[in-house]
Amino acid sequence: MTTYGTGSRILVTGGAGLVGSHLVDALLAKGCDVTAVDNFSTGSKANLDPHERLTVVEADVTEGLPVGEAPFDAVLHFACPASPVDFATLPVEILRVDSVGTLHALDRALADGARFLMASTSEVYGDPLVHPQPESYWGNVNPIGVRSCYDEAKRFSEAAVAAYHRHKGLDAAIVRIFNTYGPRMRPDDGRVVPSFISQALAGEPLTIHGDGSQTRSLCYVDDLVAGLVLLLESGEYGPVNLGTEYELTVREMAEVVLRLTGSSSTIEYTDRPSDDPERRRPDLTKARELLGYEPQVHYEAGLKSTIDDFVARRADGGIAVV
Ligand code: NAD
């Protein structure tokens, strides 16, 4: 168990993204000195408020980590486009950042004697045949499907972390993140929550893929970040699932968003994309036992604050209103 705080030097790749930027905020609040590396491909500089203990480096982690010589105490690897839209438009970039980029981040952690935390995903379970998914489940992934650039790159990253941990003695941890949402999401990133909120606020129909009976368990970003800090400080290797267990159907999500936004948008049903998982829910037993993790934020409260953020960004021009 190590507590990170004043004087701790932490490197966060992907620090300008949804999860990365909230993680940076939490580490700054603990007193850490944080370096965030990001190429702003899917994240935004606007997600990071200036702070005296924050250094922001614009760089592509697949080309290395231009972050100086002073050693870090922890390297947290979160750089990777993560939405279904990105799977279609950035498949090669995703494969590179979660292979070459991961190796660069691992090498830096090894050289510095730092703890390493890798952001993996529930997608390593593919379209799961076991429900809910425990960490011991090996998954059901289509290696050449439309999501495979992401799923297989993350599986490669996990294998790389396992090799550095097992063969080089790296102090490492793997977290498998389930469906996380919150303020700062890109309105057009194609994930279900920002899509529904953007459509509802624009008065456009909410598009549901299939009949909307497929389920997702939504985790508010603050709950995820609390779990990430617990894992970082625990010294545990994992892999550990983080998310929430409460399952909502996609149709229920659309109805909640309509109610919370007061929108009179209709709901439209379209074809399901291929390899779209039917159900996803983490088994959180290990997270509870190892970390004492317990998500706190009800989905209505989390959706409300995400909607408030979208409304504020639309008002100040941060989100284009068409
Ligand atoms: P995001 O797209 O908001 O953040 C990713 C960040 O990485 C962005 O700021 C992007 O600009 C940056 N990036 C991408 N490629 C880069 C590169 N080559 N070099 C430097 N920076 C690069 O996505 P997110 O939801 O915040 O996801 C963060 C991490 O968590 C990812 O590794 C993702 O796979 C993982 N994850 C997220 C979820 C979720 O539900 N949000 C679920 C599972 C896993």
Q: Per-residue pLDDT tens for 170-206? A: 999 999 999 999 999 999 888 899 999 999 999 999 9
pLDDT tens, 246-258?
999 999 999 999 9
- Residue with CA closest to ligand 1 atom 29: 78
Task: For residues 82 and 163, give the distance between their C-alpha atoms in angstroms, rounded to a whole number.
Answer: 24
Average pLDDT over residues 85-89: 93
Residue 188 C-alpha to ligand 1 middle, in angstroms? 15
Ligand 1 centroid–CA 145 distance in Å is 20
Using the mean position of ligand 1's atoms as its centre, give its distance from the Cα of residue 30 in Å.
22
What's the CA gap between 240 and 237, in Å, rounded? 8
Burial of 193 (0-12, 13-18, 19+ CB in 10 A): buried
Question: What pLDDT is stored for residue 319 in this prediction?
Answer: 67
Q: How many CB atoms lie within 10 A of CB 188?
A: 13
How much of the chain exceeds pLDDT 90, in percent? 89
Q: Round the average pLDDT of the chain to a whole number and report it.
A: 95
> What's residue 320's pLDDT?
62
Which pLDDT value is given to residue 276? 73
What integer pLDDT is reported at residue 318 of this predicted model?
Answer: 73
Choose which residue among 42, 60, 157, 224 to substitute to test ligand 1 binding: the one with the highest number of ligand atoms within 8 A of its C-beta: 42
Residue 233: pLDDT over 90 = yes
pLDDT digit string, tens, across residues 32-44: 999 999 999 999 9
From ligand 1's centre to the CA of 262, what distance in Å?
31
Please tell me the predicted confidence (pLDDT) of residue 147. Answer: 92
Residues composing the chain: 322
ipTM of the complex: 0.99
Does the pLDDT at position 297 exceed 80? yes
Tell me the pLDDT band of 322, cut-offs 50, 70 and 90: very low
Ligand 1 shell residues, CB under 6 Å: 13-14, 16-20, 37-43, 60-62, 78-82, 97, 101, 119, 121, 177, 179-180
pLDDT at residue 321 in the model: 58
Look up 150 and say whether it is catalytic.
Answer: yes
Cα separation, 193 vs 199, whole angstroms: 10
Q: What is the mean pLDDT of residues 148-167?
A: 98
Which of ligand 1's atoms lies nearest the C-alpha of 81? 2
pLDDT over 90 (residue 308): yes
Is the pLDDT confidence value at 19 over 60? yes
Q: Residue 82: pLDDT band by 50, 70, 90 thresholds?
A: very high
Instruction: Read off the amino acid at residue 104.
Output: H
Which residue is catalytic, options 4, 125, 137, 150?
150
Q: Ligand 1 atom closest to Cα of 97?
A: 18
Distance from CA of residue 6 to its chain's centroid? 26
Nearest residue by C-alpha to atom 19 in ligand 1: 60
Distance separating the N- and C-terminal Cα atoms of the chain: 50
